[in-house]
Amino acid sequence: MSSAKRRVEQVSGHVQSPDRTPKIICETKEHSKGNTVATITFSNPAKLNTASNQLQNELIAVCERLSKDETLRVVVLTGAPPLAPGKAPAFIGGADIQELSRLSSSDDARKYITQIHKTCLAIQQIPVPVIARVHGYALGAGLEIMAACDLRVATRASKFGMPEPKIGLPSVAEAALFPSMNGIGRTKRLVYLGEDIPADEALSWGLIERVVGDEAELDTAVKEWVDRLVTMGPQILRVQKRLVTKWENSTLAEGIEAGVETLAEVYEGGGLIAKKMMAPLLKK
């Protein structure tokens, strides 16, 4: 990936932790001329990159800014490495239990979980593919944030789970995505038993799309996907993502009709971009 142009931001959220340390780091690189790729790192390694209110606010702000970037082609989400060797790695180790313990009313709980939903929605509304690069734990809110991404690749050491029952809470918000990803039986296993699901099993469920051996292989796999996505038409993946979102939220008939209209949209003005990309194949 070209490093000719690189922008690294540490984003201050609306709600700060006492140390005022940003919990989201966003690095934007130029992959090729006119095509940029953003990597968002969850940076709360002392707490397994837990999704504190501050981290969520910062993530929403970054997603909203990236969504306005017309050169953006792909976004990668990942967790910061542990602070010391031997410590457990995490994508996101869940919600901040200290914040949960301070909730004292139904209104507090409603505001808290609505914020997690808004965080997942901000990821889903990024108009280009979002890849979850997972090494280590993806638990609770972290698993929901992972599920909000478009593509997911994880190391074999990674574990996935919804531990909320262990602390007397239900799994809610974007846990509603799980039945369509895994089926209702596996969803019940996730949200009833509070187990940690190993990566190979998560792959067989459809919770993730690919498993690799270690972090070096993880970086290679992410790079392969990024390189492949960037070669697609500059706008077509934005169009395709909008259509897939409609498929997820419509009946079969509505989804087919949306597809008809989407192809018609691509051919407005003659479909010049598509024809340009078809030209080499027509010469064979």
For residue 102, the domain's CATH number is: 3.90.226.10
Q: Find, among 57, 184, 44, 74, the residue nearest to 122 by Cα.
A: 57
User: Same domain, yes or no, for 185 and 253?
Assistant: no
- What's the rounded Cα separation, in Å, for the pair 258 and 260? 5
Give the model's pLDDT for residue 182.
92
Classify residue 256: in a domain, yes or no.
yes
Which tens digits make up the pLDDT trace of 167-195? 999 999 999 999 999 999 999 999 999 99
User: Same domain, yes or no, for 205 and 77?
Assistant: yes
In the chain, what percentage of residues exceed pLDDT 90?
77
User: Same domain, yes or no, for 248 and 217?
Assistant: no
Q: How many structural domains is the chain composed of?
A: 2
Determine the average pLDDT of the residues in 113-130.
Answer: 96
Determine the average pLDDT of the residues in 136-147.
Answer: 97
Asked whether residue 114 carries a pLDDT value surpassing 50, the answer given is yes
Asked whether residue 52 carries a pLDDT value surpassing 80, the answer given is yes
Contact call for residues 152 and 146 (beta carbons, < 8 A): yes
Give the model's pLDDT for residue 9.
58
| Residues sharing a CB contact under 8 Å with residue 123, sequence separation 6 or more, in sequence order | 59, 63, 77, 130, 145, 148, 149
Q: Which domain holds residue 76?
A: 6-230
DSSP 8-state assignment for residue 1: -
The residue that leads in pLDDT, 273 or 244, is 244
The residue among 191, 207, 230 that closes a domain is 230
Asked whether residue 271 carries a pLDDT value surpassing 90, the answer given is no
Give the model's pLDDT for residue 136.
97
Which tens digits make up the pLDDT trace of 62-112? 999 999 999 999 999 999 999 888 899 999 999 999 999 999 999 999 999
Which tens digits make up the pLDDT trace of 4-40? 455 655 554 333 445 568 889 999 999 988 899 999 9
First-to-final CA distance of the chain: 30
Alpha carbon 22 to its chain centroid, in Å, reads: 19
Kindly report the pTM of this predicted structure: 0.89
User: Same domain, yes or no, for 127 and 255?
Assistant: no
Alpha carbon 52 to its chain centroid, in Å, reads: 17
Which tens digits make up the pLDDT trace of 273-282? 777 777 777 7
